[in-house]
Chains A and B, each alone.
Chain A
């Protein structure tokens, strides 16, 4: 690894000031589980590395007045998987957080790092987008909020400008009669990156099987995580019949823009989007679906 200037600021203001001063040359480090391998391979060579772990408060999960949740960017995957508030309100998130990587990596890896690294396969992105999460961003100009859906701009790229940090993910209050499921398709259960990831969230009209609202979010099949809007629109207002679910799968596969790589071919990925979308929607009807 190449050398760099190292900073461990103890306030958010100081971190923003350092990052703004170096511009593109500065990289925040949270868990380091994406950044350190990239530096080792020479994919990035920062002029300055800014450790965020000494800034108080960024690693907390707190309940919002509206019943939602504020998840600090420095919350680790281990924390996310075990925190009672997350397990109760958004089990789909707690569940995948506890399955990503390995125990050792989950103790380091953070929510903010997973999102800011912006891998198309990042496992937290599809379920968080399905839940309508927002990114809370702080920078030289102050604070702003961006729907997580619009946070990603390409592989490894986000809306974050020079000097900007992701400080938290805001989750809206869980809605009644709503269930979500995320299916990660990979070669191995542990220590593997998704070939395809599909999150489905379905809100049913009380006492019926009619879908009132849906989110279908796809990971690892486009330059960024994407919503399959045609599939969502088809489900909305419709009864969750086998035919509708099958049609939603087909529409989701059409929305995918996959590539060939070592983990799978574009053809296979598209096919699996269809299969996993159907499974995830069916899963929200009870068979393994997580309440949200």
Chain B
């Protein structure tokens, strides 16, 4: 079989634009980790089941292991590296650390992104909404209780920290 040719790819990741050349079979996850060296996003299963590879694609959480990198051409990607500033952790990250919601940490970047997407949409979720939002993120260590507590605590802190209160919208879970 003839070697597969590479294709040009423009990716917008965490506010930076990258011009790349990639093989068509590369997934977004592989390109983020191997080409861009953004290794915060992890590979657990590579089949969509564990959520360790969760990133935002055009603002929505997706499993990057199921996305062909070329399908993300010209689209906006946010990884866990895009949340913290040089000085400060994101309130979600801080809450995970403070509440002991991290053990081995393998699932954490994916969980943080899923939780971040939830809070964007619903700044004041209840426990059920948090559990639903992270149902696609498997954690083998924490047992989830502390993760849920951390997300609720971060939501509280972020909400209190706002100058103008945002309107809370109900999640579309029915």
Task: Say whether A49 contacts B24, CB under 8 Å.
Answer: yes
Q: Are A189 and B3 in contact (CB under 8 A)?
A: no
Question: Are A104 and B23 in contact, CB atoms less than 8 angstroms apart?
Answer: no
| Closest-CB distance, B1 to chain A (whole angstroms) | 8
- Say whether, besides A32-B67, A36-B65, A102-B135, A3 and B172 are in contact (CB < 8 Å): no
User: How far does the Cβ of B135 sit from chain A's closest Cβ, in whole Å?
Assistant: 4
**Are A40 and B71 in contact, with the CB atoms below 8 A?**
no
Would you call A105 and B47 a contact (CB within 8 A)? no
B108 at interface, CB cutoff 8 A: no
Contact between chains at B65 and A103 (CB < 8 Å):
no
Cβ contacts A20-51/B at 8 Å (1 or 0 each)? 00000000010111001101100000000101
Q: With an 8 A cutoff between CB atoms, is B73 at the interface?
A: yes
Contact for B48 among A8, A33, A87, CB less than 8 A: A33
- Are A8 and B3 within 8 A (Cβ)? no
Contact B24 A5 (CB under 8 A): yes
Asked whether any CB of chain B lies closer than 8 Å to the CB of A6, the reply is yes
- Closest A-chain residue to B117, C-beta based? A103
Q: How far is the CB of A57 from chain B (nearest CB, A)?
A: 18
B37 located at the interface, meaning its Cβ lies under 8 Å from any Cβ of chain A in the complex: no
Which of B53-61, B85-93, B148-156 lies at the interface?
B53-61
Contact (Cβ within 8 A) A32 B71: yes
Q: How far is the CB of B59 from chain A (nearest CB, A)?
A: 10
CB atoms of B49 and A36 under 8 A apart: no
Is A62 an interface residue, CB under 8 A from the partner? no
> Could you tell me which residues of chain B, from 46 to 80, have a CB within 8 Å of some CB in chain A?
46-49, 51, 54, 57, 60-63, 65-68, 70-71, 73
In the assembled complex, B41 has its CB within 8 A of some CB on chain A: no
Do A36 and B24 have beta carbons less than 8 Å apart?
Answer: no
Asked if A82 is an interface residue, CB under 8 A from chain B, the answer is yes
* Size of the chain A interface, CB-CB below 8 angstroms: 35
Partner of A108, one of B23, B63, B133: B63
Determine which residue in A29, A94, A190, A191 has the highest number of CB atoms from chain B within 10 A of its CB, and name it.
A191
> Which residues of the other chain, B, contact A185 by a CB distance below 8 angstroms?
none
Cβ contact of B25, chosen from A2, A51, A98, A102, cutoff 8 A? A2
List B residues at the A interface (Cβ < 8 Å).
1, 3-4, 7, 23-25, 27, 46-49, 51, 54, 57, 60-63, 65-68, 70-71, 73, 114, 117, 132-133, 135-137, 172-174
Top 7 A-B residue pairs of the complex, sorted by shortest distance between their CB atoms? A102-B136, A3-B4, A190-B135, A6-B24, A1-B25, A107-B60, A37-B47
Q: A33-B48, A78-B60, A108-B62 are in contact. List 8 more A-B contacts (CB 8 A).
A: A3-B1, A36-B27, A36-B66, A40-B46, A51-B70, A101-B48, A103-B133, A104-B114
Residue pairs across A and B with Cβ atoms less than 8 A apart, 22 shown, are A2-B25, A3-B4, A3-B23, A4-B4, A4-B24, A6-B70, A8-B73, A29-B71, A32-B71, A39-B25, A40-B46, A49-B68, A51-B68, A53-B71, A102-B135, A103-B135, A105-B66, A105-B136, A107-B57, A107-B61, A190-B136, A191-B49
